[in-house]
Amino acid sequence: MSQTHSAPQALTQLSEEEQLFYSTIRKFAEDEIGPHVRKMDEEAHYADGLVAKLFAMGLMGIEIPDEHGGAGGSFFDAILAVEAISTVEPGVGVLVDVQNTLCINAIKRWGSPAQHKQWFPKLATETVCSYALSEANSGSDAFALETRYEKTATGYRLNGRKLWISNAKEAGLYIVFATSDPAKGYKGISAFLVERSAPGFSVGRKEDKLGIRSSSTCELVLDNCDVPAANLLGEEGKGYKIAIETLNEGRIGIGAQLLGLAEGAWNHAARYAEERKQFGRPIAGFQAVQFTLAEMATEIEAAKLMVYNAARLKDAGANFVREAAMCKYFVSQVAERVASLAVEIFGGNGFVREYPVEKLFRDSKIGKIYEGTSNMQLATIARLLLKLGKD
C-alpha cells in the first residue's frame, strides 16, 4: 500500500508550532518505540534504553521551566506528547502522562522553591516519578486510605502499602499520600516526596496485567519509612487538595492517552482494509467497512476536540473540572469501541497476537477504570451540572 492512513487530526485546532511538535514526537514514537511494542507487551517491561531516550527527547519534563533544565512547555504540549506516543504504544504514553500531568504538575504547584531546585533538574533529565494514592481499600473512595504517618524529631515516619502504582518499577521519586489519623477523614491527609533510597521503603509485587503491559504497576511498601521534614509536599493536612486538583488535570492526560490509542487502532484498521482482499477486491471497497471506518473516525474527531478543549481551558486558567471529567468518560468509551471495531475489521486476524489491534483492545479497557472510574466521572459531571451538594 502506497499511502499511510491516520485518523483526522483537527489540525485547525493546532498552531504550526504545535503541529510540528506533535509530528516530531509521532515520528520518534514510530521509529524508536514501534519496533519494540510486541516484545514489550509480551515481556511486560520497557525496552532497554527507551526511558533514557524519552528523557533525551525532553518528553519527561515538558512543563519544567528552562532554568531547571526542562522544556518550558505548556500543559497542552504535554497532552500532545501523550497523544502522539500513545498512537504507537499506550503503555509508554502512560509513563509520560504520569510524569508530566500528575507528578510534575503537583510539585510545580505545591512544591517549595527548594523542592523545585532539588527535583526539577532530575525529573527533567533522569528521574522517573510515581504518584502513590491508591490502596487495597482506597480506590474510588480515594480518601479512605490507611497508610499512616507520624512526626519524628527529624521529619515523618510512614507505614502502609500502596497498590496499583504506575511507573513504580522505574521511579526514583514517589509522591505518597498518607494520613495522620483515619478518623480525621480527608483533613488528616498529607503528601510526601519519598525517594526510592529512603530507609524503610521498597517496591513490592509487580502486577500481571490485561493491557498496557509495558507500563509497570506495582505495590509499594512503607515499613517505618523515614522522610525528612523538607520532603513534605505543600502544607500538612492539605494532601487531599493536592490529590483532587492534580487528578483533575490527570484525567485530561488519560483522555489524551486513550485518544492516541483510538487513532492508532483506526490507522491499523484502515491500512488493513486496503490490504485484505475478499471476493476479489480489498475489503475497503465494501460499504459496510467504509461506514465502520467513517463512524470510528467521527467518534475520534469528537474525542479529540474534547481532549483539546479541556487542555486549552486548563492552560487558560479557566475552570475545566467538568470538561476534564467529560473528556475522561467519553474518550474511554470511544477508545474501547474503536479498538473493538478494529478487531472486527481484521476478522480472525484481529483475534491473534500476531496483529496489533488485539493488544490495543486489551489496552483500552483500563481507560474506564484508572484515574477515576466511569461512574465517578458521571458523578462529577452530574454534581457540577445540577449543582448538587456534597455529603
Look at strands 171-179 and 189-195 and give their pairing. Answer: antiparallel
Percent pLDDT > 90 in the chain is 93
* Residue 285 pLDDT > 50: yes
pLDDT tens per residue, range 20-42: 999 999 999 999 999 999 999 99
307 and 356 in a common domain: yes
The number of folded domains in the chain is 3
Structural domain includes residue 6: no
> How far is Cα 173 from Cα 220, in angstroms, rounded to an integer?
12
- Find the domain containing 327 and state its range: 241-386
Structural domain includes residue 3: no
Burial of residue 120, with CB atoms counted within 10 A of its CB: 0-12 exposed, 13-18 middle, 19 or more buried: buried
Confidence of residue 390 (pLDDT cuts 50, 70, 90): low
Give the pLDDT of residue 141: 87
Lowest mean pLDDT among 88-92, 207-211, 387-391: 387-391
Structural domain includes residue 206: yes
Structural domain includes residue 5: no
CATH number where 85 lies: 1.10.540.10
Burial 325-343 (b: 16+ CB within 10 A, else e): bbbbbbbbbbbbbbbbbbb
Give the pLDDT of residue 389: 58
344 and 246 in a common domain: yes
Beta-carbon contacts of 117 under 8 Å, excluding residues fewer than 6 positions away, are 68
Structural domain includes residue 4: no
250 and 231 in a common domain: no
Give the pLDDT of residue 5: 52
Confidence of residue 1 (pLDDT cuts 50, 70, 90): very low
Tell me what the mean pLDDT of segment 254-259 comes to. 98
Distance separating the N- and C-terminal Cα atoms of the chain: 58
pLDDT tens per residue, range 327-382: 999 999 999 999 999 999 999 999 999 999 999 999 999 999 999 999 999 999 99
pLDDT tens per residue, range 310-327: 999 999 999 999 999 999
Can you name the residues that pair with 226 across neighbouring β-strands?
157
347 and 297 in a common domain: yes
141 and 94 in a common domain: no
Give the pLDDT of residue 192: 98
Give the pLDDT of residue 139: 83
Q: From 92, 112, 127, give the residue that closes a domain.
A: 127
pLDDT tens per residue, range 147-164: 999 999 999 999 999 999
Tell me what the mean pLDDT of segment 54-75 comes to. 98
247 and 115 in a common domain: no
Confirm if 54 and 95 have CB atoms less than 8 A apart.
Answer: yes
pLDDT tens per residue, range 220-229: 999 999 999 9
Structural domain includes residue 148: yes
Confidence of residue 12 (pLDDT cuts 50, 70, 90): very low
Among candidate residues 249, 243, 254, the one with its CA nearest the CA of residue 374: 254
Angle at 54 between CA 52 and CA 59, to 5 degrees: 140
Structural domain includes residue 220: yes
Active-site residue set: 371
Tell me what the mean pLDDT of segment 40-66 comes to. 98
Structural domain includes residue 2: no
CATH number where 191 lies: 2.40.110.10
Give the pLDDT of residue 136: 93
Q: From 237, 261, 279, give the residue that closes a domain.
A: 237
80 and 161 in a common domain: no
272 and 337 in a common domain: yes
pLDDT tens per residue, range 85-143: 999 999 999 999 999 999 999 999 999 999 999 999 999 999 999 999 999 998 888 78
> How far is Cα 311 from Cα 380, in angstroms, rounded to an integer?
18
Give the pLDDT of residue 29: 98
* Residue 11 pLDDT > 70: no
Across the chain, what does the average pLDDT equal? 95
89 and 75 in a common domain: yes
CATH number where 320 lies: 1.20.140.10
Q: From 108, 127, 146, give the residue that closes a domain.
A: 127
Give the pLDDT of residue 273: 98
Instruction: Give the start-end residues of each E strand in 95-216.
Output: 128-132, 148-151, 155-166, 171-179, 189-195, 201-206
Tell me what the mean pLDDT of segment 270-280 comes to. 97
Q: Angle between the 90-97 and 239-275 helix axes, to the nearest 10 degrees?
A: 160
Confidence of residue 387 (pLDDT cuts 50, 70, 90): confident
298 and 165 in a common domain: no
* Residue 7 pLDDT > 70: no
201 and 280 in a common domain: no
280 and 204 in a common domain: no
